[in-house]
């Protein structure tokens, strides 16, 4: 299955392995049927010595009564009473050296076995064994299914996750990547707000059940009570934080009047709830516990690594947990006046982690000191690893032009900054089986595509013209997306014999422009303000 999604998953596997090594965390190792147990042996000349003590797959027997797992060089025994597989004293037994195979960034992507004698063939793991050192198992349909050797407790913290809530790429990634990682054997939880805006979108949360677990969070000058809702779907625990501040018209971040004024409050609650959820929610009968890998997305979840460092680890909690900050859009940083720091419930000595000073030219008046708190900056300096949604973006944010004032801090953390390209869900976005489109088509038979175009024109009230070029845009209405350029070019574009469809929400001025443009070019332009998953599929197909 050669696709961007597969590439991203393989990159994530390698990345998660490295992230676990950021400290002294030891994650649970699981054995795989048919994989030779690796015996405990000191490394020699940078290689790991492995004795040939393979299990007989047909009988289940081996050369020893005990067994061990080796993960990234760490050995964990399932039965401490069993003797080791090899005899440590016998140095003359035949064995193998385990050599590492690395990519351009230095991450381990595979291994090869080197026999002690040059007369033997080197076994390259890239042929039969994936980057985790686990044999691939082929199912009856002939599709390779890679299996995970190490399982992690992964907690996604995000402001949106499709199909429950979505305004753009963040929702897509946090809706599909957790499912893909769960399919690889990890235990995955997604923590996101339970948005209710009085529209049909509220039905997305219908299957999420109240866990009956209420919690009081001390912040913003008082105790804020939250509740947890839960749905288990596609191998993932979807946990929704419930609070009245999430129940209002508009999208997750604002309404027709702009961004909500209490977003700092709303997402502070999310971060506190995300830190508590693995400790208190008995999902599937037991909690996730402290040994978690937190994947926090953008500034909305940026307080999580700060809370882990300032409020939990000093008391011995989450000392083995790790956090990865995923930066989808650096321009949004959660910046508020410095006086709001006391509302966050953080120790006073941690103010420096979030401290932010605007340059003189960016201040509103001569008496403005420019002092503020920057939640994303706090996440950057406290997270164990940093990720962006592409390798190019990981470089761009370290430049003056693309760093939005954070380029120097990001440059100082280059050693833990990586980029992994976003992929797509090839099941959801497969035109040969997409349930949202009028007619199916494929690369081998494109005849159904024109029917998708005709159906879209009919649905949106445009003249039905299969031969007319149709331009489509789906995305957040934000300056970064080039909406200002589209607005400037629209009169010239629409002067030609074309049709133009746009779907998105965001900046109120761009939303207003879309409505005005539709009124001016009734036979050529349609602007759908908001987000609609079926329509986004039909625009892509048509």
Which residues is 239 bridged to in the sheet?
191, 230
Q: Which of residues 419, 436, 456 is at a domain's end?
A: 419
Please report how the helices 4-20 and 169-183 are oriented relative to each other, as an axis angle in degrees rounded to 10.
Answer: 70
What is the Cα–Cα distance from 264 to 260, expressed in whole angstroms?
9
369 and 513 co-located in one domain: no
Residues of the chain with pLDDT under 50: 1-4, 23-94, 96, 117-143
367 and 496 co-located in one domain: no
What's phi and psi for 377, nearest 5 deg?
-60, -40
353 and 407 co-located in one domain: yes
Q: Is 44 a domain residue?
A: no
376 and 513 co-located in one domain: no
The closest alpha carbon to 274, from 306, 249, 247, belongs to 306
Q: Is 10 a domain residue?
A: no
DSSP 8-state symbol, 35: P
177 and 218 co-located in one domain: yes
Summarised one tens digit per residue, pLDDT across range 518-539 is: 999 999 999 998 878 899 999 9
Q: Is 401 a domain residue?
A: yes
Q: Is 391 a domain residue?
A: yes
183 and 260 co-located in one domain: yes
Residue 489: CB atoms within 10 A of its CB come to: 11
**pLDDT number for residue 360:** 80
**pLDDT number for residue 45:** 46
Consecutive H or E run containing 278: helix 263-280
**pLDDT number for residue 119:** 47
What long-range pairs does 82-88 form, CB within 8 A, spacing at least 24?
84/39, 84/40, 85/37, 85/39, 85/40, 85/51, 85/53, 86/39, 86/40, 86/41, 86/51, 86/53, 88/41
**pLDDT number for residue 36:** 38
Q: Is 274 a domain residue?
A: yes
395 and 487 co-located in one domain: no
Write out the two tokens for 233: 């779907």
414 and 453 co-located in one domain: no
497 and 386 co-located in one domain: no
Q: Is 499 a domain residue?
A: yes
What is the Cα–Cα distance from 212 to 230, expressed in whole angstroms?
10
Q: Is 139 a domain residue?
A: no
CATH number at residue 373: 3.40.50.2000
462 and 414 co-located in one domain: no
Q: Is 254 a domain residue?
A: yes
3-state secondary structure 433-477: CCCCCCCCCCCCCCCCHHHHHHHHHHHHCCCCCCCCCEEEEECCE
| b/e 434-458 (16+ beta carbons within 10 angstroms → b) | bebbbbbbeeeeeebbebbbbbbbe
**pLDDT number for residue 132:** 38
Domain membership of residue 479 as a residue range: 446-541
> Domain count of the chain?
2
409 and 451 co-located in one domain: no
pTM listed for this prediction: 0.69
413 and 335 co-located in one domain: yes
């Amino acid at each position: 299955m050669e696709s961007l999604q597969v590439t991203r998953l393989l990159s994530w596997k390698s990345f998660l392995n490295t992230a676990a090594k950021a400290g002294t965390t030891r994650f649970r190792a699981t054995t795989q049927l048919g994989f030779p147990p690796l015996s405990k042996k000191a490394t020699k000349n940078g290689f790991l010595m492995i004795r040939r003590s393979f299990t007989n797959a047909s009988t289940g027997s081996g050369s020893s009564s005990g067994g061990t797992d080796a993960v990234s060089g760490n050995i964990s025994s399932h039965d401490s009473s069993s003797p080791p597989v090899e005899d440590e004293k016998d140095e003359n037994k035949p064995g193998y050296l385990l050599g590492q195979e690395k990519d351009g960034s230095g991450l381990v992507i595979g291994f090869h076995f080197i026999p002690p004698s040059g007369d033997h063939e080197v076994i390259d793991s890239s042929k039969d064994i994936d980057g985790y050192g686990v044999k691939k198992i082929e199912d009856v349909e002939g599709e390779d299914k890679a299996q995970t050797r190490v399982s992690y407790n992964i907690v996604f913290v995000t402001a949106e996750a499709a199909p429950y809530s979505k305004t753009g790429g963040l929702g897509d990634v946090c809706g599909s990547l957790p499912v893909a990682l769960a399919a690889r054997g990890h235990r995955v939880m997604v923590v996101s707000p339970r948005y209710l805006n009085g529209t049909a979108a509220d039905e997305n949360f219908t299957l999420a059940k109240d866990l009956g677990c209420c919690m009081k969070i001390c912040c913003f000058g008082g105790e804020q009570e939250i509740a947890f809702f839960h749905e288990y779907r596609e191998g993932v625990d979807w946990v929704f934080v419930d609070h009245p501040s999430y129940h209002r018209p508009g999208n997750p971040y604002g309404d027709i009047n702009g961004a909500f004024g209490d977003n700092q409050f709303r997402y502070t609650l999310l971060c506190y709830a995300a830190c508590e959820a693995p400790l208190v929610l008995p999902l599937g009968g037991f909690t996730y516990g402290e040994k978690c890998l937190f994947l926090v997305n953008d500034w909305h979840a940026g307080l999580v690594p700060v809370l882990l460092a300032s409020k939990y680890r000093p008391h011995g909690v989450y000392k083995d947990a790790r956090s990865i900050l995923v930066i989808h859009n650096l321009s949004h940083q959660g910046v508020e006046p410095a006086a709001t720091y006391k509302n966050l419930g953080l120790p006073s000595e941690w103010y420096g982690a979030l401290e932010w000073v605007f340059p003189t030219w960016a201040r509103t008046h001569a008496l403005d000191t420019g002092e503020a708190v920057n939640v994303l900056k706090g996440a950057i300096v406290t997270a164990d690893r940093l990720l962006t949604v592409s390798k190019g973006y990981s470089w761009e944010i370290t430049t003056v032009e693309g760093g939005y004032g954070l380029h120097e801090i990001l440059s100082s953390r280059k050693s833990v900054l990586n980029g992994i390209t976003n992929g797509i869900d090839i099941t959801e976005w497969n035109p040969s089986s997409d349930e949202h489109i009028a007619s199916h088509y494929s690369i081998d038979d494109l005849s159904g595509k024109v029917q998708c175009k005709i159906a879209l024109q009919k649905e949106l009230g445009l003249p039905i013209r299969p031969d007319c070029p149709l331009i489509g845009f789906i995305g957040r209405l934000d300056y970064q997306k080039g909406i200002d350029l589209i607005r400037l070019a629209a009169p010239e574009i629409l002067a030609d014999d074309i049709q133009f469809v746009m779907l998105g929400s965001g900046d109120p001025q761009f939303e207003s422009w879309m409505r005005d443009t539709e009124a001016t070019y009734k036979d050529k332009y349609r602007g759908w303000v908001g987000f609609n998953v079926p329509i986004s599929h039909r625009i892509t197909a048509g």
